[in-house]
Amino acid sequence: MVARAHRGAESRAKTEDDSRFEGSEEFQSDRRGRCKGDVPLRRSSDGTCACDDKALEAGDAPDSGDGPRSLECDVRALYAAERDELRASQGDARDDLIAACVSACEREVEQMRGAPVDDRALIRSFARAQLRFIPRSTWAGLAGVALIVAAGANVLGTHALPQLFSAAGSLLALICLANVMRSRGFGMAELESSCRFNAVAVVLARMFAMGMGSVAILAVAGCSLGAAGVDALRCLLWMGAPYLVTCAGGLTCARRVASCDARTAAVAWSAGVVAISVVFYQAAPGAYASTALWLWALACVGSAAWLSVEVRAWIVASASGFVAGAQASRA
């Protein structure tokens, strides 16, 4: 108890001495001098702070004043001193590096100004570059659909072709849609709009790549059906109508919802069309007869017109960053 009381008395005495020292004129003048930048600090080799007589650069000196800003003044003075030491240690190497960077940029600009610009070549190279960014899962899905339509007639028989090709068409559209709107939810439209190849160019390149893949699969299906002795035109119509309906409806759903839900909406629509394509043959088998071929042709024409409208709307929406569509959906 006696030792504890003795320590408490020493602590109170020390606090009173510190208070008297902080209130003295020597302490106040020293703090004002440090706030004005008259006594900048310098970090020594052992990690401690020491006074430095070098004046701070213009604009580095803190505002004058008293109170708790003295610590901020000391820190700013310390940082200024360390910055000066770093510049002094670098010497001429820093200036040489800056000069080399500037000269390299100037040479690149001169080369760009002197070289002829071929917009068509740039667009072709950009479209080829987009192929490298298509995920491997997309190519695997397209290869799977091609294998299904190529071997379907020989493996399953002609009685299963209506269900097979209708489901394959909608499944092919699902794979294409998932890749076309892959960057819809990333919120990069504002950044892409400032580039030479903006969001519209990316959308067109992806649509072109997926369209060429779909045409290749249709060609594989036609050749395999012709080799098997099956009416290829009828099977391609069975496949084309669900494909076009899935693409048009998926773009419509994805354009009318928020960015984060666009891909989910398109996948949900595509999955619904796949399911309907599978059960439609059992519900209405007469629709797949030879006499109803004109109905499938009419469905292909109508869905193609719908798809053209939706593709144009999707391109316009991508040019504006899908902002107008999102505001309209919220309204």
Per-residue model confidence as pLDDT tens digits over 2-48: 445 445 545 554 454 444 444 454 444 444 444 444 444 455 555 44
Residue 256 parent element (H or E): helix 232-256
181 and 312 in a single domain? The answer is yes
Domain span at residue 274? 119-330
Residues making up the chain, counted from first to last: 331
Higher pLDDT, residue 168 or 325? 168
Residue 105 maps to a domain: no
Percent of the chain having pLDDT more than 90? 7
The answer as to whether 107 is a domain residue is: no
Other beta carbons within 10 Å of 261: 15
What pLDDT band is residue 246 in, cutting at 50, 70 and 90? very high
For 307-327, letters b (16+ CB in 10 Å) and e give beebbeebeebbeebbeebbe
The per-residue pLDDT for 11 is: 53
pLDDT for the residue numbered 32:
45
Please check whether residue 108 lies inside any domain of the structure: no
- Coil, strand or helix: which one is 324? helix
Does 131 fall in a domain? yes
**Based on the domain organization, do 129 and 221 belong to the same domain?**
yes
Task: Compute the radius of gyration of the chain from its Cα atoms.
Answer: 37
Helix 69-90 to helix 92-114 angle (10° resolution) is: 70
Look at residue 110 and tell me if it is in a domain.
no
Closest C-alpha to 44, from 35, 52, 36: 52
- CA–chain centroid gap for 96, Å, is 37
Rounded to an integer, what distance in angstroms lies between the CA atom of residue 184 and that of residue 326? 12
- Mean pLDDT for 106-127 is 68
Contacts of 67 (CB under 8 A, 6+ apart): none
Residue 82 lies in a domain: yes
202 and 266, same domain (yes or no): yes
Higher-pLDDT residue of 181, 122: 181
51 shares a domain with 133? no
Whether residues 85 and 127 share a domain: the answer is no
Structural domains of the chain, count: 2
* Cβ–Cβ under 8 Å, residues 317 and 184: no
Place of tokens 């394509």: 277
CA 294 to chain centre: 44
